[in-house]
Amino acid sequence: MKTPLRPALGLWFLLPLLTPELHAQTTAADFLDRGNAKIAQGDPAGAMADYDRAIALDPKQAEAFYDRGAAREAKGDHAGAIADYDKALGLNPKFAQAFNNRGLAKAGRDDPAAAIADFDQAIALDPKYSLAFYNRGRARKTLGDLDGAIADYDQAIALDPKFSLAYINRGVAKMAQDHPTAAVADYDQAITMNPKFAPAYFNRGVAREAGGDLAGAISDFNQAVTIDPAYISAYKKLATTQRKQGNEAAAKAAEAALVKLNVKGK
């Protein structure tokens, strides 16, 4: 995730490149800046219109194609994003971020092998690019290469010791290798860095349950639903774990909360 990972754990890092102003009077640069501001405001469609204008004025600016590719990817247009990253790389073959983002778009098209090839290029160009190691780790995990995934998460963490998602995903890979104690240690680190991230508690709860610590698992599932009251998977695990502990009333309470959520979702 084979239980699918929650979307929050599946975060791929896709960021628009914030390019500096080249010339105060450059209209193309102004459109780029405006597009980047719209991306930050959660308006990829509006940003794309600005990137289109920037490209029309300066079709040799790799950053404009890169930024438009990021906007297209944010809208789920993987093919369009790849086309823009291709153009950015045609203009600047040493554009590490464009290789990284093209890899993300290829992963979005369920082509992890092709994604890995792009992440390899990004890392070759920038060996300290922690996000590229993280993204390659996720692609390797998708292909079942758990050792390779863990090695990449190790490197991402070595480069950025506060990379909480790398700890979480390394924990997921360790769980897939049936090492719940090691997974718990990674989730502990992630929770220390971000104590309000419900999926970290959920995953630690799953690992604690697998290791036989039902009380710890229940505590984590309770914390997950406290942070995110709509966390359906956490309620399900809370009910089953409470029942394992012989707490039928608590199990039924979790199931009742789940029923309410399902009704609201209809």
**Would you say 193 and 162 are in contact if contact means Cβ atoms under 8 Å apart?**
yes
Return the amino acid letter for 256: A
Query: Chain centroid to CA 211: how far?
Result: 26
What pLDDT does 7 receive?
A: 32
- In order, the DSSP letters of 6-29 are PGGGG--------PPPS-TT-HHH
Greatest distance between any 2 Cα atoms in the chain:
71
Q: What domains sit in the chain, N to C, each tagged with a CATH number?
A: 1-126 (1.25.40.10), 215-266 (no CATH)
Tokens matching residue 37:
């501001």
pLDDT tens for the chain, 266 residues long, are 333 333 334 445 555 555 444 444 558 899 999 999 999 999 988 999 999 999 999 999 999 999 999 999 989 999 999 999 999 999 999 999 999 999 999 999 999 999 999 999 999 999 999 999 999 999 999 999 999 999 999 999 999 999 999 999 999 999 999 999 999 999 999 999 999 999 999 999 999 999 999 999 999 999 999 999 999 999 999 999 999 999 999 999 999 999 998 865 43
- The answer to pTM > 0.75 is yes
What pLDDT does 116 receive?
A: 98
What pLDDT does 21 receive?
A: 47
What pLDDT does 251 receive?
A: 97
